[in-house]
Structure 1
């Protein structure tokens, strides 16, 4: 077995402290991070009206959960700049496929992936790759969800 020329721990020493980082956060009038505005903007960029209606629906029953989705999931995490939106959506599709029980969320993120420029073939390939880790039933369920998302 061939080993890399530079040991792994030495290669990591070249990674800057704090990497990867997102761009400097937006600030509100008081100088605080405006997670809500950044989250809403990110939702709009990725999912458009679909994501906005999901958040509104969640807010009716569980306003705190809606805030967590906007502020944390989109305002803090999905808005990071270390990877582009296409790559992020493909990673999310992989994760949701492996979960095997998140078809509504998977559909939203497949539509989001299409919105940010992913091709259907790329999305299908990610799902196929996940069959190795999640099993064929999870992959088949994800493909059914993808077919629905592609048709809309």
Structure 2
């Protein structure tokens, strides 16, 4: 599934200073903030590393919840009337410019989905907050759909991902 020599691992002592996705907020977060957030247990960070341990991309993953009222009626009508449902949040996802357009972003989303499916706590869906229309279109191509009333907050039920895997 992943190309030889590449692997997705928890953030370690990876060299981050030269990482450049072209989105300043994502790059700055990865260089300056993510370690503190991991240490505080606010998120986990996973790195797509190449054979030399260089960073191809990264994503953050944390617990979240989905208000039942934010789901399209076609999905919510078959669910229990709990006020919120458990979810996993891909808070940030970025691929270094030198590696964009090669499917690495989609691979990291699949990795997050597999982690969510294997998690001991139940997780109903993956959530993403797309930074812009380009990112929203990327997630839509992967099968994510918008929450009711939100163009850039998207989700995909893990049952949908499990069917595809």
TM-score of the pair, normalised by structure 1: 0.34
TM-score with structure 2 setting the length:
0.33
**Higher relative contact order by CA 8 Å / sep ≥ 6: 1 or 2?**
1
**Rg (Cα) greater in structure:** 1
- Structure in which a larger fraction of residues adopt strand: 2
